[in-house]
Structure 1
Amino acid sequence: MSSRGARMDWRRAARAPARLAPPHHPLKAFRPPRPPDHRHRALHSILTRSDEVLRKATESQKGIKWGSDQLNDLDYADDICLLATTLQDLTCTANAVQDEAQKTGLRVNAQKTVAMRVVTPNRDLIKIGDKQVVDVPYFCYLGSVLTPTGGTDDDVDGRIKKAKGAFAQLTPIWRSNIISRDLKLRIFVSNVKSVLLYGCETWKVTKSISTKLQVCVNKHLRQILRVFWPETISNEDLWKETRQEPINKEILRRKWSWIGHCLRRPEGNIAKMALDWNPPQGRRRKGRPAITWRRSILSDLNAVGISWDEAKERAQDRNVWRRTVEALCSSWS
């Protein structure tokens, strides 16, 4: 059929009335059955085989100590992260995965595989078969940047860049005289602020990090309100005008809401166990202890006189936990 004939058929179909179902279903339209998508079936088959490969490959391998068990890998769809405490264990696990994958027709792409070492002086090469694995100082996993020191600073810098890009793409909306200010602010919260604060529940928020985030938010809010130099507006008036709260307080509320969700999970859940997990201890360097995520949440609890064990008990009751979260947020200054 020619292109002109195709356009005519499309226009005729667009003008044609919709075929409705029989009277006992007056609002249900007939739709042709959707043909099966063989790509979905193929992807499901690959993921199923990948899970089976990992299960067999890590049965006799050593990961990291996780309570009374061993945690060998973290996987989400086709993103797989192998864990080990020694270079030898990691090499054995990687090659075991390669051997099991070849039995099912899959293979490990060594060119897309990277390794990151955390607090280890060992710099020996890691190989999968005869292919060398590249060492990297950081990598992105599920949208978050991971580094040997935790990655909060790098992750925040990346989030700020992505939020600025999302805000720039919506410039016609911010400049529009038709769209109301309330709608612009709702779009900002859903399309820009959500990008900025993605994964903030696991950040260790320091003063410098909160300042960078707050500066980014304030700048965008002033652009939405069209407050440009020499006109000025204080931060407090800006937040009141736009009905926004300080970024530290919002991160605190998101973090503790997420912690309560994890604490209500059943025993043995990885997310719940991670909140109590204590890495192998050694001798730390001289000086003040570094600020970690764990120390930050204990500091928040101490500010309102709640212990960690008491917080775990309160989290089981959603209403009690909501009041606890509000108390934690109100203690912020």
Structure 2
Amino acid sequence: MDWACKKFYQSINQNVGTAKGDSLSPVRFTIYLEHALKEVRPVLPKPSTPLEKVLPREIAYADDVDFIAFQDIDVEEVGKVLEKYNLQVNVDKTEFTNLSRGETNWQTTKKVGTLIGDQEDIERRKQPSSAALVKLKNAWLKGDKITKNTKLKLYKALVKSVLTYNCGTWALTQSQEERLNAFHRKQLKKVLNIKYPVKITNSCLYNKCNERPLSIFILVSRWRLFGHILRRDSQIPANQAMSGYFVMEGSKLKGRPLTTLLSSSTETFPES
């Protein structure tokens, strides 16, 4: 038994990379990148304010790495450190995003398939969901051959999932919720092939489709994401970002404070 364990754990020298598609490749790359980032961190600007000390310093997903700082980051210096590990910074794909109350360019910055600005991301999600709905037009029109339950399953799997991708990160105002609910109802009517002059109330439509307002679905997704983050380690970027939200720094903003941190809906909906 001792001999078997010793033989199993003995080191193996590998001179070539793993084959493309090998499940071991991303794991090895993640470990290798983390080792390289340990040398990158000392060359980054040092945190000087209470907020900087709380916020995450970096966010990494696969081969995409975001560095967060209140001062300019010397990308050339970062590139020199990574070159020691045969890693090259793709200058063409490198983006510099300035998060400022006086600017709005950051709202259209994409991170992991999602735009940072909530309203911008919503408008962007509407387009592919509408395109997916049109592709299934023949399925919605074949009322005799395809049952209503099958249509609704197709809608939830292929259309609604596109519209609500990463919706747990959205913090919406009441007017934004109402517009999303109206867009959702419009899609449900197309699924059931309900056209003018036929009229149907919102509650009846939701009951007929066994659905609820989209704002309720988003609210549940937000609470689910919130609970998932709280159960994780306090040092992960998501927990650090939430802690930074409550760190008071700088002058107080004028006007009424935002109420979208824990969004809620006042629209009535059928009991599920």
Q: Same fold (TM over 0.5)?
A: yes
Which of 265, 287, 306 in structure 1 is aligned with 2:255? 287
Please state if 1:233 is matched with 2:203.
Answer: no
Corresponding residue number in structure 2 for 1:163: 129
Corresponding residue number in structure 1 for 2:82: 101
5+ residue gaps, structure 1: 1-35, 123-134, 301-328
Which of 190, 193, 198 in structure 2 is aligned with 1:223? 190
Contact 1:71 1:83 in 2 (8 A): yes
Corresponding residue number in structure 2 for 1:305: none
Please state if 1:61 is matched with 2:67.
Answer: no
Question: CA separation of 1:284/1:332 partners in 2, compared to 1, >3 Å: closer, same or farther?
Answer: same
Residue type at the aligned position of 1:142: V
Paired residues, number = 245
Which of 208, 215, 220 in structure 2 is aligned with 1:253? 220
In the alignment, the residues of structure 2 paired with residue 84 and residue 108 of structure 1 have an alpha-carbon distance, to the nearest angstrom, of 18
**What SS does the aligned partner of 2:172 have?**
coil
In the alignment, the residues of structure 2 paired with residue 214 and residue 137 of structure 1 have an alpha-carbon distance, to the nearest angstrom, of 23
In the alignment, the residues of structure 2 paired with residue 291 and residue 60 of structure 1 have an alpha-carbon distance, to the nearest angstrom, of 38
Corresponding residue number in structure 2 for 1:201: 168
Corresponding residue number in structure 2 for 1:142: 112
In the alignment, the residues of structure 2 paired with residue 198 and residue 158 of structure 1 have an alpha-carbon distance, to the nearest angstrom, of 11
Corresponding residue number in structure 1 for 2:98: 117
TM-score scaled by length of structure 2: 0.78
Contact 1:163 1:192 in 2 (8 A): yes
Question: CA separation of 1:37/1:171 partners in 2, compared to 1, >3 Å: closer, same or farther?
Answer: farther
Question: CA separation of 1:116/1:272 partners in 2, compared to 1, >3 Å: closer, same or farther?
Answer: closer
Contact 1:63 1:73 in 2 (8 A): no
**What SS does the aligned partner of 1:74 have?**
strand
Corresponding residue number in structure 1 for 2:5: none
Residue type at the aligned position of 1:153: Q
Tell me which of the two structures has the higher relative contact order, counting C-alpha pairs closer than 8 angstroms and 6 or more residues apart: 2
**What SS does the aligned partner of 2:42 have?**
coil
Superposed counterparts of 1:74-89, under 5 Å = 74-87=59-72
Deviations 1:29-62 (A, max 9, x none): xxxxxxx961245953544433322221013523
**What SS does the aligned partner of 1:54 have?**
helix
User: How large is the Cα RMSD of the aligned pairs?
Assistant: 2.9
TM-score scaled by length of structure 1: 0.65
In the alignment, the residues of structure 2 paired with residue 86 and residue 120 of structure 1 have an alpha-carbon distance, to the nearest angstrom, of 16
Question: CA separation of 1:76/1:229 partners in 2, compared to 1, >3 Å: closer, same or farther?
Answer: same
Please state if 1:184 is matched with 2:151.
Answer: yes
**What SS does the aligned partner of 2:60 have?**
strand
Give the C-alpha shift of residue 226 in structure 1: 1.2
5+ residue gaps, structure 2: 1-16
